[in-house]
Amino acid sequence: MKESRPKSWDKTKRVYEISYPDGKKEIWKDVTARDCLTKYEGMDPYGNGLKLREIVGKELQLIKVMDSGKK
């Protein structure tokens, strides 16, 4: 039986998007969940109205394709 742990324990590199109230978006690539949360909390997300979400699925595949085209 697999032990259930929170994502913050997982050291898998992921992609996250930070949305600002003015519509600006910032993408963080190759960041672990724990590092992302630490950085996000340091930005005063509640005072600044920031939103955090993990990019997964087709959207993640699209980002990888766009990045490989830049090289």
The structural domains of the chain, with segments of one domain joined by +, span 7-70
Read off φ and ψ for residue 11, nearest 5 degrees: -100, 15
Q: Where do runs of H (alpha helix) occur along the chain?
A: 33-42, 45-48, 57-70
Read off φ and ψ for residue 30, nearest 5 degrees: 55, 55
pLDDT digits (tens, 9 = 90+) for 20-70: 999 999 999 999 999 999 999 999 999 999 999 999 999 999 999 988 877
Q: How far apart are CA 17 and CA 66, in angstroms?
A: 16
Q: In the 8-state DSSP scheme, what is residue 2?
A: P
pTM (predicted TM-score) = 0.81
Mean pLDDT of 6-19: 86
Q: How far apart are CA 2 and CA 44, in angstroms?
A: 35
